[in-house]
Every structure is written in structure tokens, then in C-alpha cells.
Amino acid sequence: MVATTYRYRWSSLSSVQLGRNIPGAVVIGATAPGIFVDVTVDSTALADLTDYMVSQGWVFSATSPTTTVETANATTAAAVRKLVDFIGAPSEGYTSGAYRVITMGAVAPSNITWWTDSGATVKIFEVNYTRNAAHCATTVQWKVYDAPGTTVLATVTDTISYSGIVETTRTRTIA
């Protein structure tokens, strides 16, 4: 039997369950990073472990992680903060000379990409839009990239519903 370490990320915290145990108004922040836990078990128990973890609100993240849980949590938090800081436009923490390229759909942008410079070789941020027949964004996905511009550090995706052209709901997913 081989013991292997499996990493799980906390994926759901119920406001209702939290409210039952914590008095007063309960608000769960949408931009808080995930929490990670490493579990070491015999590899033959992985299916049972995953079933149990999912039932408790955790999702599988990695096998035999090379970073500590503390590093994973800190890295995730930093990446999400970097993405939130960038969503408006690159500023503090980014070098001068960032270059933006807009790809137009029929009447509105389908993609906006920020590059480190006008050579457009190193991507630092992008936002992608999926639109309905009325050209309203039904999905907006923001991504921030690492220094080489190839690995996504954090992603925020909004899924939007409409009544006609009036937005009725928006659900945000942070990864």
C-alpha cells in the first residue's frame, strides 16, 4: 500500500449553516481565496476520500502537492488580490507601458487583453465576453497571468441572466 497526499480546496460555505452558529448578520466575501487542506491516505482509498470531501464542501485540487498548504493559501490570496486590483486597468504593481488590445464582436467587445508592451508578446490580463442575441454579456471572465504571461494565476467568472436587456441576476465564481 502506498500513502499519497491529496490536496483539497474548500469550495462552499453555507451562509445558512454559518448563520445558525454565529449570531448576527452573516456575509461571506466573494473575493476571499479558497482554503486548502492536505490529506494523506492509502491511494486505494482515494475514491472514498473524494466522495466524503465533496459531501463536506471540498473539491480535489492536486496529488502530491509540492507546496505547503500555507503557501497555497497565500499564493491564492495574492493572485485574487492581483486580479481584483487589475480589473479596472493596470496600475500599482505593474510597469508603465502596458498595452491594451480590444477585439470587437458585432457591436461590443468580445475580448480585451492587456500586454506588458505594444509588442503584445507577454499577456498580463484579459477579459472575455460571451453575449446573447441582444448583445448583452451573459458570461464575463477575467484572468490574470504570471510574469511569463502563460500561466493563469486567478480567474473570476460572472454568469449573468436578463429579463429583456435588464440584468436580473449575477453569479460570481472565483478560481
Residues 42 and 104 in one domain: no
For the chain, where are the alpha helices, taking DSSP H only?
15-21, 46-55, 69-86
62 and 104, same domain (yes or no) = no
Compute φ and ψ for 128, nearest 5 degrees.
-115, 140
Q: What pLDDT is recorded for position 130?
A: 95
In the chain, the amino acid numbered 116 is T
For residue 26, the model assigns a pLDDT of 47
Q: Which amino acid is at 174?
A: I
Does one domain contain both 108 and 167?
A: yes
What pLDDT, in 10s, does the model give residues 19-44?
A: 555 555 444 444 444 566 677 777 77
Residue 50 is given by DSSP the state H
Q: What ranges make up the beta strands (E) of 83-136?
A: 99-104, 109-115, 123-131
Q: Is the pLDDT of residue 166 over 70?
A: yes
Domain holding 35, by residue range, is 3-66
The answer as to whether 39 is a domain residue is yes
Residue in 145, 155, 142, 140 with CA at minimum distance from that of residue 108: 140
- What confidence tens digit (pLDDT) does each residue in 51-76 have? 777 666 666 666 666 666 555 555 55
pLDDT in tens, 134-147: 889 999 998 888 77
Residue where a domain terminates, one of 66, 81, 110: 66
- 111 part of a folded domain: yes
Q: How many domains does the chain have?
A: 2
